[in-house]
Amino acid sequence: MDLLYTAPVKAVLTALVTTLVPFLTYVVFLSYTPTADKKSPEFTPNTVPLVGSWGFLTQKWAF
């Protein structure tokens, strides 16, 4: 049982968990498809995460 708590093994397990948790969270985030009403307009393909529609920020006078 002490083999799992040696410094190199503990470092590898910590690195593995630290890498896999954000990666799996990102995959789940990308695979999520929000449900929308059939009458609602289509989603815009021109989006940037955390910023929203890039065209709205760069071409405000066109709206």
Q: What is the pLDDT of residues 4-54, one digit of tens each?
A: 678 888 889 999 999 999 999 999 998 887 777 888 877 766 665 656 666
E-assigned strand segments in the chain: 47-48, 52-53
Position 36 scores a pLDDT of: 78
Residues 6+ apart with CB under 8 A from 4: 10, 13
Given a contact cutoff of 8 angstroms between Cβ atoms, the answer to whether 45 and 54 are in contact is no
Which residues, other chains included, contact 16 with Cβ-Cβ below 8 Å and sequence gap of 6+?
Answer: none
Q: Any idea where the domains of the chain sit in the sequence?
A: 2-62
